[in-house]
């Protein structure tokens, strides 16, 4: 399946910070077909560094980031469902973000880009869904930051969401999660090449961005998966170097991943998107999480993973218990996996089974949108 990223323009978007963005662009892909009843549309929401290319193979031969979940006969079966995925606001993969041109100045936004939130991202996605002529989505689904967007969708647009699937997600970042994000941001901003966000294309703060990504990668794995994958194996050598070259396999892996990341991700986007995650708090403006989720009419499928220490199961349980306290329709599974936070991307056999049954029921019980 060769896929194509499409672009759509919007005039303006009001932001939580009080500013308004003008001349926005959204990059998105779709898979499968929207049926006549318009009850088979699934919006996939990507995690931190993801993009619109969720499934299939693009013109460069790159496979989508959730291709194992989306496609004919897969968890999100494109024979049945019309699947949409867009790059988030603040991103650097086609949707307006800090690396875009500011139409007022003709220059790149850089740090003049306004600080955005998860609900700003969702508000822009809603414009896309309206543009596609879909009154009510069968499901909003995503892992990690994608799960936060899914939750925000269910609370902000209850009439437009039949089912909400937050995976390895949280209703608000913990101190630990904020701490990791801040460490990444500091690594970027302390790089002399950062230039207060006005770095040229060919000279980004590569060292800072690579270190930020190395830290990120550690948090996405688990102690066990790292032991299995690397152990204490040495890289291309029989003995220690007694220096600070690469000795261990794990060092080599992290450096490689860090460098690779610099080629595909913008340092300013890193700052803005991590900040949006840290600001996210579904309880803001409500006395409790249960009170906030009470707005939602969607059925929920909440999934967490046993070895995920970055978004631990207690955070999913917080969501689930808030829903149960209102006797909301919620399914909760803690899936067994050694892969840590990455599990939702790589360890998908059980996730697929659970997803299938849930989506199947939600489509059968699809409630028509009120005119």
Partner 1 sequence: MKVRDVLGRGDYALISELIPEGARVLDLGCGDGALLAWLRENKRIEGRGIEVKPELAQRAASRGVPVYQGDLESSLSEYPEGAFDIVILSQTLQELRRPLEVVEQMLRIGKHAIVAFPNFGHWRVRLHHLLSGRAPRTALFPHSWHSSPNIHFLTVLDFEETVQEKGWRVESRLFLSGHAQIRFAPNWRAEIAVYLLRR
In the structure encoding, which two tokens stand for residue 263, read together? 């080629």
Closest distance of CB 351 from partner 1, Å: 9
CA 325 to the chain's CA centroid: 27
367 secondary structure, DSSP code: P
Closest distance of CB 169 from partner 1, Å: 16
Which one of residues 89, 168, 296, 320 is an interface residue with partner 1 (CB under 8 A)?
320
CA-CA-CA-CA torsion sign (160, 29, 272, 280) = positive
CB 303 within 8 A of CB 189: no
Closest distance of CB 6 from partner 1, Å: 33
Site track 250-289 with partner 1 (rule: CB under 8 A), x = hit: ----------------------------------------
Is 341 an annotated catalytic residue? yes
- Name residue 167's beta-bridge partners: 143, 303
CB atoms within 10 A of CB 55: 25
Closest distance of CB 171 from partner 1, Å: 16
Is 144 an annotated catalytic residue? yes
CB 177 within 8 A of CB 278: yes
Site track 80-119 with partner 1 (rule: CB under 8 A), x = hit: ----------------------------------------
> Among all chains, which residue has been given the structure tokens 């850089």?
110
Closest distance of CB 289 from partner 1, Å: 12
Is residue 321 a contact point for partner 1 (CB under 8 A)?
yes
Residues 298-317 close enough to bind partner 1 by CB under 8 A: 299, 301, 317
Which one of 99, 100, 144, 269 is the catalytic residue?
Answer: 144
Angle ∠(256,203,212) on CA atoms, nearest 5: 40
Site size with partner 1, rule: CB under 8 A: 25
CA distances from 206 to 199, 202, 220, 325 (A): 10, 10, 21, 47
Is 217 an annotated catalytic residue? no
Backbone angles phi, psi at 149, to 5 degrees: -65, -40
SS3 for 145-174, per residue? HHHHHHHHHHHHCHHHECEEEEECCCCECC
Please choose, out of 41-49, 186-194, 199-207, 321-329, the segment that lies near partner 1 by the rule CB under 8 A. Answer: 321-329
- CA 263, 269, 273, 276: dihedral to nearest 10 degrees? 170
CB atoms within 10 A of CB 82: 22
Which one of 67, 266, 308, 347 is the catalytic residue?
Answer: 308
Which one of 53, 173, 341, 342 is the catalytic residue?
Answer: 341
Closest distance of CB 285 from partner 1, Å: 23
- Name residue 22's beta-bridge partners: 12
Nearest to 246 by CA among 236, 261, 232: 236
CB 320 within 8 A of CB 40: no
Closest distance of CB 151 from partner 1, Å: 17
Is residue 297 a contact point for partner 1 (CB under 8 A)?
no
Residues 182-201 close enough to bind partner 1 by CB under 8 A: none
In the complex with partner 1, which residue's Cβ is closer, 4 or 365? 365
Site track 323-362 with partner 1 (rule: CB under 8 A), x = hit: -xxxx-xxxxxxxx-------------x--xx-xxx-xx-
Residues 6-25 close enough to bind partner 1 by CB under 8 A: none
In the complex with partner 1, which residue's Cβ is closer, 255 or 361? 361
Catalytic residues: 144, 308, 341
Binding site for partner 1 (CB under 8 A): 299, 301, 317, 320-321, 324-327, 329-336, 350, 353-354, 356-358, 360-361
């Amino acid at each position: 399946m060769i896929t194509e990223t499409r672009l759509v323009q919007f005039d303006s978007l009001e932001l939580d910070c009080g500013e308004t963005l003008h001349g926005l662009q959204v990059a998105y892909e779709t898979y499968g077909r929207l049926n006549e009843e318009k009850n088979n549309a699934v919006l996939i929401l990507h995690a931190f560094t993801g993009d619109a290319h969720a499934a299939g193979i693009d013109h460069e031969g790159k496979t989508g980031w959730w291709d194992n979940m989306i496609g004919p006969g897969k968890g999100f079966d494109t024979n049945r469902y019309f699947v949409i995925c867009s790059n988030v606001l603040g991103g650097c993969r086609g949707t307006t973000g800090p690396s875009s041109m500011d139409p007022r100045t003709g220059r790149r936004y850089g740090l003049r880009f306004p600080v955005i939130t998860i609900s700003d991202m969702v508000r822009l996605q809603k414009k896309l869904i309206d543009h596609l002529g879909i009154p009510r989505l069968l499901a909003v689904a995503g892992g990690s930051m994608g799960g936060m967007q899914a939750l925000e969708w269910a609370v902000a647009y209850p009439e437009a969401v039949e089912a909400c699937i937050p995976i390895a997600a949280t209703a608000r970042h913990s101190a630990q999660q904020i701490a990791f994000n801040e460490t990444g941001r500091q690594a970027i901003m302390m790089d002399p090449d950062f230039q207060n966000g006005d770095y040229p294309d060919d000279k980004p703060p590569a060292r800072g961005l690579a270190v930020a990504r190395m830290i990120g990668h550690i948090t996405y794995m688990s102690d066990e998966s790292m032991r299995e994958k690397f152990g204490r194996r040495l890289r291309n050598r029989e003995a220690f170097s007694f220096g600070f070259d690469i000795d261990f396999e794990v060092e080599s892996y992290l450096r490689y991943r860090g460098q690779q990341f610099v080629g595909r991700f913008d340092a300013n986007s890193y700052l803005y998107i991590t900040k949006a995650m840290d600001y996210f708090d579904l309880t803001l403006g409500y006395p409790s999480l249960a009170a906030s989720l009470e707005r939602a009419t969607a059925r929920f499928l909440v999934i967490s993973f046993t070895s995920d220490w970055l978004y631990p199961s207690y955070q999913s349980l917080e969501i689930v218990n808030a829903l149960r306290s209102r006797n909301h329709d919620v399914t909760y599974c803690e899936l067994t996996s050694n892969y840590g936070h990455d599990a939702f991307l790589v360890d998908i056999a059980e996730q697929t089974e659970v997803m299938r049954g849930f989506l199947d029921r939600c489509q059968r019980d699809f409630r028509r949108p009120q005119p």
